[in-house]
């Protein structure tokens, strides 16, 4: 049925109260199609409050600016557009391949018709240059939001408890890191998906743990199903491009390099194929811990957390497959900001757990690509902050909030003293509204000398 409608944008001049349409030379359309739409909306163009807008003309939508258009899944939808301001406009719903003619004179009209054949939230807009930015866009909501079925939408969020094996007291040795770059549609939120690009099907990629002095061979394989070249730049590498110069890997191929880990520290790695910011935002980042001689001191719990942004055409909270927006990436205006790859990764999918009295260590990095994080754990104070992830400098002590730039990291440690739920945030707290939060649940006995409410 899709072929009957999705490329079937019909344009007409007037009289859309009782439309009768001719075919318009689309070879994919069925020549015998006649129809009545299941649902019709009429919008007019206008200038309101200095912005360009679509305005509803009848029923509940009357006089609403850029109204939400709600339709059942599978419905044939007609949107009429009447020019009411005398400027040139059109209307389009790109995800259903529907786009009208341009209309210029006041009173002229056009229309699009398409079948809303997938559930989700999509955009309608005027495609004339600058008009969307000036305000001409709204939402078309198809069906009820559906929960994303995990069998159809794999989970890419990285488990924060998967931190690899501490190196301990061993001598330097040869180590091999195998990275597979992939592109897959996966769960973004409960009712949304995104086409992520990953290392080893997780965001962030694997937490790599080696010792200073190790000779490390990195093999980067690009899945044959990929559509793009990928690569890797390890910030722990001394050498051209951190490895990216020699690992631009085409789909189905493998490239390798070997480096000596000269500096201990916690380092970010990421894909470095143009447009690098796009590869990073799509999920291609992770961290490598180069432990100092003798290894890091043991602690009770270790967690691996990375912050990243997604730039989608649809607004935060929309359902369905969310599409990448280059415009928003270049404006550094993300719709989603997340720990460990997807919405709710550290609030619903994984819970960081500890017991009262545990010493907890968090390896925290920012994939970004753009936002600096002001890392804060609500209700806790970091006993030690290894600022800028320098493991060879003495740590800062007794820190509330610490800053981590894109492509940077920190290591924080603290002893848990009191049970409860502690929330990891970026203290630029507007970002919490875009998904940025993680729970650390501490269990055990409450010591009321440390904290108590009036009812305790």
- List contacts with Cu ion (CB under 5 A): 230, 271, 273, 279, 284
Q: Is beta strand 215-222 parallel, antiparallel or unpaired with respect to 174-189? A: parallel
User: Residue holding tokens 């109204």?
Assistant: 67
CB of 276 to Cu ion, least distance (A): 8
Query: Which C-beta is closer to Cu ion: that of 9 or that of 180?
Result: 180
Report the residue number, 191 or 226, with the smaller CB distance to Cu ion. Answer: 226
Query: Do residues 58 and 96 touch, judged by C-beta distance below 8 A?
Result: no
Q: How far is the CB of 284 from Cu ion (least distance, A)?
A: 5
In whole angstroms, the minimum distance from the beta carbon of 309 to Cu ion comes to 16
Structure tokens at 384: 């030690």
Question: Could you tell me the smallest distance in angstroms from the CB atom of residue 376 to Cu ion?
Answer: 31
- Residue 230 CB, nearest approach to Cu ion (Å): 3
DSSP readout, 292-333? PTT-PPP-SEEEEEEEEEE-BSSPTT--EEEPB-HHHHHTT-
User: Least Å distance between CB 369 and Cu ion?
Assistant: 12
Of residues 279 and 336, the one with the C-beta less far from Cu ion: 279
Nearer to Cu ion, 104 or 253 (CB): 253
* Contacts (Cβ under 8 Å, ≥6 apart) of 355: 300, 416, 442, 443, 444
Measured from the CB atom, is 147 or 330 closer to Cu ion? 330
Closest CB to Cu ion among 163 and 220? Answer: 220
Measure Cα distances from 103 to 11, 99, 134, 213, 412 in Å: 10, 12, 18, 68, 59
Write down the residue that tokens 């391949």 correspond to.
97
Of 143, 223, 211, which is closest to residue 181 (Cα–Cα)?
223
Minimal CB distance to Cu ion: which residue? 271
CB of 378 within 8 A of CB of 425? yes
Indicate the SS3 state at residue 217.
strand
């Amino acid at each position: 049925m899709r072929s009957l409608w999705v490329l079937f944008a019909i344009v007409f001049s007037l009289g859309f109260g009782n439309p009768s349409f001719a075919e318009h030379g689309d070879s994919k359309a069925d020549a015998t199609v006649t129809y009545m739409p299941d649902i019709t909306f009429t919008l007019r163009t206008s200038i309101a409050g200095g912005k360009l807008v679509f305005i509803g003309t009848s029923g509940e939508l009357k006089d609403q600016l850029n109204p939400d258009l709600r339709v059942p899944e599978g419905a044939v939808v007609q949107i009429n557009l009447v020019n009411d301001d005398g400027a040139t406009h059109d209307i389009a719903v790109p995800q259903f391949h529907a786009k009208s003619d341009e209309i210029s004179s006041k009173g002229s009209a056009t229309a699009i018709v398409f079948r809303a054949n997938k559930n989700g939230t999509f955009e309608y807009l005027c495609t004339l240059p600058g008009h969307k930015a000036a305000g001409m866009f709204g939402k078309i909501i198809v069906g009820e939001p559906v929960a994303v079925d995990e069998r159809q939408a794999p989970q890419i969020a990285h488990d924060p408890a998967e931190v690899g094996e501490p190196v301990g007291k061993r001598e330097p040795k040869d180590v091999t890191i195998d990275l597979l770059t992939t592109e897959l549609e996966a769960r973004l939120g409960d009712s949304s998906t995104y086409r992520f690009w990953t290392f080893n099907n997780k965001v962030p990629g694997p937490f790599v743990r080696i010792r200073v002095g190790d000779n490390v061979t990195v093999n980067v394989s690009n899945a044959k199903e990929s559509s793009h070249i990928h690569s890797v730049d390890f910030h722990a590498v001394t050498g051209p491009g951190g490895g990216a110069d020699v690992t631009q890997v085409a789909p189905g191929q493998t490239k390798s390099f070997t480096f000596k880990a000269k500096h201990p520290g916690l380092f970010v790695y990421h894909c470095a194929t143009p447009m690098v910011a796009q590869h990073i935002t799509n999920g291609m980042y992770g961290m490598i811990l180069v432990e100092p001689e003798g290894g890091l001191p043991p602690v009770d719990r270790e967690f691996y957390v990375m912050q990243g942004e997604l730039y989608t055409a649809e607004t935060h909270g929309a359902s369905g497959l969310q599409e990448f927006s280059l415009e928003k990436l270049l404006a550094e205006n993300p719709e989603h900001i997340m720990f460990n790859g997807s919405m709710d990764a550290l609030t619903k999918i994984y819970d960081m757990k500890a017991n009262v009295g545990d010493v907890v260590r968090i390896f925290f990095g920012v994939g970004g690509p753009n936002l600096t994080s002001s890392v804060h754990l609500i209700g806790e104070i970091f006993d030690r902050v290894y600022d800028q992830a320098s493991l060879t400098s003495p740590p800062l002590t007794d820190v509330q909030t610490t800053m981590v730039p894109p492509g940077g990291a920190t290591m924080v440690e603290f002893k848990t003293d009191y049970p409860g739920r502690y929330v990891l945030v970026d203290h630029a707290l507007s970002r919490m509204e875009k998904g940025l939060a993680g729970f650390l649940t501490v269990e055990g006995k409450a010591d009321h000398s440390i904290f108590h409410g009036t009812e305790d």
